[in-house]
């Protein structure tokens, strides 16, 4: 900026010097014209060379005048240019002043910028410090976010639990109402039970007295049977009619033995040869035990192979099998000519014609098959079926039904759809085939 100002001043000085020199040149030209006029008074001949010279000078002066006019024009233009330059200079000076003002503002801006830079540096230092603190707090922040999420989840769970609690309270209130009603019913039932208990006690006392009387009568009958050789003891339950219970039979080859007679299930005259009602008797017995029989008449028992053989060899017997599945549904299977062979033939099974209710002929696969126990293998399987299924039975390879199997999935019978019925209760009963007269009676 300072260099521009110096050059402008120098140009103005040179212009002033040029104008002064021009004015001096005009004064010199005017004095030369005056001298030429004075010389015209001399003779033409003497002055002719001089006149020629002066003409030449005059021409030159005219040329100089033309040049002067041109120079004046140039000076005029130059003055205009000068004034214009002056205006430009003034404008320039104003702009220079504005530029200085802008420069001052720039300097001030630079100072402000430096101040801002210092503030920025200070803020960066504070930011870095805060960033370090944030970096240290980031794990805590993540833990906080996790805890916040867990709190939200637990809050949701708590809200759900509150809803469930309200539902439970409502359900509990209803149950309390039901309990109050049930307590009232229980109270009534308890009173009725007490009355029934009194009646039952009276009935039991009467039953005990009756049992004692029956025992006394039976002892007297047994005594009479022994003292009266002509008294005949029956070989079946038919003579006992509608008087079920334990009675004594006399069968050739076996002698006297007790049997359980049943007249309530399907009519009178039936001997129970096998019973599964309690599940507390093991049927995994050896040959000798199955031959003799085992168990208790008031629970599970097997009458004995030898007794069954002797009874069924006297006359034709029918077999009735009472089946109750785990859903307490009752079925039956019936055979019209049941018997087993003697021990020498392995107590082989014979059945006759089948009839039943919603069941298939499950024992048909055991017909003409010998009895098998874990100590006497008569089945056709590679292994001992009695040992495998923990019970004696008329096994083939191995069986389709096994009424002596332990309680569970192996104790079953074939249903009408070939599906296995899981059994909870089984009874095998035999009765002599009745004559037409017995049937009509």
- Residue 283 CB contacts under 8 Å (≥ 6 apart), including other chains: 300, 302, 390, 391, 392, 404, 405, 406
The DSSP output letter for 232 is P
pLDDT attached to residue 341: 97
206 versus 33: the higher-pLDDT residue is 206
Strands 349-350 and 317-325: unpaired
Average pLDDT rounded to a whole number, residues 248-269: 93
- pLDDT tens track for 88-122: 888 878 888 888 888 888 888 888 888 888 888 88
In a domain, 372, yes or no: yes
pLDDT attached to residue 265: 92
- pLDDT tens track for 410-424: 898 987 766 778 899
- Residue 396 CB contacts under 8 Å (≥ 6 apart), including other chains: 365, 366, 369, 379, 380, 381
Nearest to 395 by CA among 374, 371, 420: 371
pLDDT attached to residue 42: 56
- Quick one: 142 and 247 in the same domain? no
Indicate whether 219 pLDDT > 60: no
In a domain, 29, yes or no: yes
- Quick one: 159 and 256 in the same domain? no
In a domain, 219, yes or no: no
Average pLDDT rounded to a whole number, residues 315-344: 95
Indicate whether 399 pLDDT > 80: yes
- Quick one: 242 and 162 in the same domain? no
Strands 255-262 and 270-276: antiparallel
- Quick one: 161 and 297 in the same domain? no
Q: Which of 107, 132, 166 is the last residue of a domain?
A: 166
pLDDT attached to residue 348: 97
Percent of the chain clearing pLDDT 90 (strictly above): 36
pTM above the 0.75 mark? no
100 versus 201: the higher-pLDDT residue is 100
In a domain, 182, yes or no: no
The DSSP output letter for 249 is E
Average pLDDT rounded to a whole number, residues 166-185: 79
Low-confidence winner among 59-73, 120-134, 206-220 (lowest mean pLDDT): 206-220
pLDDT attached to residue 159: 80
- Quick one: 257 and 382 in the same domain? yes
pLDDT attached to residue 204: 67
Q: Phi/psi class of residue 22: alpha, beta or left (left: φ > 0; alpha: ψ in -120 to 50)?
A: alpha
- pLDDT tens track for 22-78: 554 445 445 545 555 554 555 667 767 777 777 787 787 778 788 888 888 888 887
Indicate whether 376 pLDDT > 90: yes
Q: What is the CATH number of the domain that holds 256?
A: 3.90.215.10
pLDDT attached to residue 122: 85
What whole-number distance in Å separates Cα of residue 296 and Cα of residue 2? 140
Average pLDDT rounded to a whole number, residues 343-347: 97
144 versus 376: the higher-pLDDT residue is 376
- Quick one: 238 and 111 in the same domain? no
Which residues sit opposite 359 in a β-bridge? 415
The DSSP output letter for 426 is E
Distances in Å between the alpha carbon of 228 and those of 216, 220, 224, 232, 248? 18, 12, 6, 9, 16
| HSE (side-chain half, CA atoms, 13 Å) at 427 | 22
Nearest to 334 by CA among 350, 316, 353, 347: 353
What whole-number distance in Å separates Cα of residue 431 and Cα of residue 308? 11
Angle at 33 between CA 30 and CA 36, to 5 degrees: 160
- Quick one: 275 and 379 in the same domain? yes
Q: Which of 144, 166, 188 is the last residue of a domain?
A: 166
Distances in Å between the alpha carbon of 398 and those of 321, 371, 380? 20, 12, 8
How many residues are given for the chain?
Answer: 441
Indicate whether 123 pLDDT > 70: yes
Query: In the chain, how many domains are there?
Result: 2
pLDDT attached to residue 293: 97
Indicate whether 440 pLDDT > 70: no
- Quick one: 306 and 425 in the same domain? yes
In a domain, 322, yes or no: yes
Low-confidence winner among 116-120, 313-317, 337-341, 393-397 (lowest mean pLDDT): 116-120
pLDDT attached to residue 28: 47
Q: Which of 106, 135, 166 is the last residue of a domain?
A: 166
Q: Which two tokens stand for residue 251?
A: 């069968």
- Residue 400 CB contacts under 8 Å (≥ 6 apart), including other chains: 362, 365, 366, 414
- Quick one: 291 and 397 in the same domain? yes
| HSE (side-chain half, CA atoms, 13 Å) at 252 | 4
Average pLDDT rounded to a whole number, residues 188-196: 76
8 A C-beta contact, residue 284 and residue 390 = yes
- Quick one: 108 and 24 in the same domain? yes
Indicate whether 227 pLDDT > 60: no
Distances in Å between the alpha carbon of 106 and those of 109, 116, 382, 406? 5, 14, 115, 111
Residue with tokens 């008797």: 281
132 versus 43: the higher-pLDDT residue is 132
Q: What is the dihedral of CA 336, 291, 313, 432, to 10 degrees?
A: -40
- Quick one: 4 and 90 in the same domain? yes
> Of 170-179, 189-198, 310-319, where does the model show the most confidence?
310-319
Average pLDDT rounded to a whole number, residues 284-308: 96
Residue with tokens 């309990």: 179
Average pLDDT rounded to a whole number, residues 125-149: 77
Whether the ω angle into residue 398 lies within 30 degrees of 0, i.e. cis, is: yes
Alpha helices in 228-244 (DSSP H): none
In a domain, 4, yes or no: yes
pLDDT attached to residue 394: 97
- Quick one: 425 and 341 in the same domain? yes
Read off the pLDDT band of 363 (50, 70, 90). Answer: very high
In a domain, 215, yes or no: no
pLDDT attached to residue 421: 85
Q: For the CA atoms of the chain, what is the radius of gyration?
A: 73
* Domain housing 361: 234-440
pLDDT attached to residue 46: 72
pLDDT attached to residue 304: 97
pLDDT attached to residue 436: 42
In a domain, 16, yes or no: yes
């Amino acid at each position: 900026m300072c260099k521009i100002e110096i050059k402008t001043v120098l140009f103005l000085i040179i212009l002033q010097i040029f104008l002064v020199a021009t004015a001096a040149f005009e004064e010199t030209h005017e004095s030369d014209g005056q001298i030429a006029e004075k010389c015209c008074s001399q003779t033409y001949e003497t002055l002719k060379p001089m006149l020629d010279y002066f003409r030449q000078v005059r021409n030159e002066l005219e040329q100089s005048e033309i040049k002067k006019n041109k120079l004046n024009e140039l000076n005029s233009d130059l003055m205009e240019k000068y004034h214009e330059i002056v205006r430009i200079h003034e404008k320039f000076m104003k702009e220079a002043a504005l530029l200085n003002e802008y420069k001052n503002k720039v300097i001030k801006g630079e100072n402000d910028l430096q101040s801002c830079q210092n503030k920025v540096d200070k803020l960066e230092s504070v930011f870095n410090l805060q960033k370090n603190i944030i970096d240290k707090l980031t794990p805590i922040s993540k833990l906080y976010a996790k805890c916040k999420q867990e709190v939200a989840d637990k809050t949701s769970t708590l809200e759900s639990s509150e809803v469930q609690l309200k539902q439970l309270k409502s359900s509990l209130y209803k149950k309390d109402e039901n309990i109050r009603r049930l307590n009232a019913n229980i109270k009534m039932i308890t009173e009725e039970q007490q009355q029934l208990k009194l009646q039952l006690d009276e009935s039991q006392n009467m039953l005990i007295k009756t049992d004692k009387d029956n025992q006394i009568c039976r002892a007297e009958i047994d005594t009479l049977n022994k003292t009266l050789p002509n008294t005949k003891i029956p070989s079946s339950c038919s003579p006992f009619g509608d008087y079920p219970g334990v009675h004594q039979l006399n069968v050739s080859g076996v002698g006297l033995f007790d049997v359980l007679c049943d007249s309530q299930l399907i009519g009178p005259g039936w001997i129970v040869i096998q019973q599964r009602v309690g599940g507390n008797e093991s049927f995994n017995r050896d040959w000798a035990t199955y031959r003799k029989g085992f168990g208790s008449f008031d629970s599970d028992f097997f009458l004995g192979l030898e007794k069954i053989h002797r009874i069924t060899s006297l006359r034709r017997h029918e077999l009735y099998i009472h089946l109750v599945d785990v859903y307490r549904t009752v079925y039956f299977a019936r055979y019209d000519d049941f018997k087993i062979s003697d021990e020498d033939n392995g107590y082989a099974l014979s059945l006759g014609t089948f009839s039943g209710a919603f069941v298939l002929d499950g024992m048909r696969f055991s017909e003409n098959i010998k009895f098998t126990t874990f100590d006497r293998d008569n089945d056709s399987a590679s292994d001992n079926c009695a040992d495998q299924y923990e019970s004696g039975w008329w096994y083939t390879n191995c069986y389709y039904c096994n009424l002596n199997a332990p309680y569970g999935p192996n104790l079953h019978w074939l249903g009408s759809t070939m599906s296995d019925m899981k059994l909870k209760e089984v009874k095998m009963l035999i009765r002599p085939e009745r004559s037409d007269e017995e049937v009509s009676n």
